[in-house]
Structure 1
Amino acid sequence: MNVTTETSVENLTLTTTAELSASLERTWSLVSDPRKLERWWGPPEWPATFVKFEFEPAGRAHYFMQGPDGEKIHGWWRFVSITEPRELEIEDGFADESGEPSGDLGVTTARITFEPIEAGTRLTIVSGFESEDQLEEMAKMGMDEGMRLAVGQIQHILDES
């Protein structure tokens, strides 16, 4: 599986794309099932745990990623729209330990799409940023590499199920 990322400062986006050898329905379960989602949302050394997951428009999610030294970074999502099994739009940000938005680095958006292709499904995640400064800060934190590593885990999960 090949995972690509492309940053557009002009459009304030980071686009991550992967072609997966699995059906649209199977790949959709990777975002609709929190136990499957936490197996890939985050790089291998920073796995995610979803403690709240209201998978419906305007629903909320709270998760944390835990590093190898035990450090936890909390995040929140708001589900903007869900079009099963093709598209999911979320707002995403850093949170405090209770899952409430902390305001650190503002809010990002993500449009996650699933497109049937001959080999299976093309997954595309377009992360949007509020400003060039926010995009640069997230890049400094390693978001590009983190997304590549996170999405790079998906085919293995699909192969197991």
Structure 2
Amino acid sequence: MTMPLTSVTKDAATLTVTVVGDYPVPQQRLWDAFADPRQLERFWGPPDWPATFTHHELKVGGRAEYFLSGQNGENWSGSWEFIAVKPISSFEARDGEHNAEDETMPSSMTFTFDTTPTGSRVTIATRFSSVEAMELTIPGMEAGLRAAMPELDAVLAERGASTAHM
């Protein structure tokens, strides 16, 4: 099995963490996995903290609201405010939390979807308000992404992915 998460790059100068994943499916299929809340909640968050999207309006000015559920009944909620949407190629969201004073949270995320010779690629660039926020968030975020992104493989494989199983 190949690891779809091809890189995690941290850049303190631009306060960004960029995650790249390559998948053997068409660009439209990869976009659909992020645009459909029922698919997105199956891989947005590590397997032991599954996500539930209670609202997902992927348009400029729209919002996505979700929570992650821990194994001991605890919940962590998050939301995005969509500030740019270009269907099948990209969307950008600001952290939509009401508690915007939480400097440890990412300030915004840009998701870009591209066609590649072997399928498609998603690039997720997360911006932070400070180096301190990056340093506090990155270890948990990176571990969570490395646990969650293989779940995207399973979602893509079962919903009409065009590649044969090996």
Distance, in Å, in 2 between the alignment partners of 1:106 and 1:145 is 16
Structure 1, residues 83-111: CA drift from partner, whole Å, max 9, x if none? 01000101125x4xxxxx22323552111
Structure 1, residues 40-90: CA drift from partner, whole Å, max 9, x if none? 111111111011112210111211001111110011110111101000101
Q: Tell me the secondary structure at the aligned position of residue 68 of structure 1.
A: coil
Structure 1, unaligned stretches of length 5 or more?
96-100
Distance, in Å, in 2 between the alignment partners of 1:7 and 1:66 is 27
Give yes or no for the alignment of 1:135 onto 2:134.
yes
CA 1:117–1:107 in structure 2 vs 1: closer, same or farther (change >3 Å)? closer
Q: Is the contact between residue 19 and residue 121 of structure 1 (CA under 8 Å) also seen in structure 2?
A: yes
Give yes or no for the alignment of 1:13 onto 2:10.
no
**Aligned positions of 1:53-132 closer than 5 A:** 53-92=56-95, 95=97, 101-103=98-100, 104=102, 105-132=104-131
Structure 2, unaligned stretches of length 5 or more?
160-166
Distance, in Å, in 1 between the alignment partners of 2:59 and 2:25 is 24
Q: Tell me the secondary structure at the aligned position of residue 147 of structure 1.
A: helix
Distance, in Å, in 2 between the alignment partners of 1:152 and 1:80 is 28
The TM-score normalised by the length of structure 1 is: 0.90
Distance, in Å, in 2 between the alignment partners of 1:67 and 1:25 is 32
- Once the two structures are aligned, what percentage of the paired residues are identical? 34
What displacement does 1:23 show? 0.5
Q: Is the contact between residue 43 and residue 147 of structure 1 (CA under 8 Å) also seen in structure 2?
A: yes
Name the counterpart of 1:158: 156
Distance, in Å, in 2 between the alignment partners of 1:115 and 1:139 is 25
The TM-score normalised by the length of structure 2 is: 0.87
Partner letter of residue 48 of structure 1? A
Aligned residues: 154
Of 2, 25, 35, which residue of structure 1 is paired with 2:4?
A: 2
Runs of 4+ in 1 over 3 A off after TM superposition: none
Q: Is the contact between residue 44 and residue 149 of structure 1 (CA under 8 Å) also seen in structure 2?
A: yes
Partner letter of residue 92 of structure 1? D
Distance, in Å, in 1 between the alignment partners of 2:153 and 2:106 is 29
Name the counterpart of 1:98: none
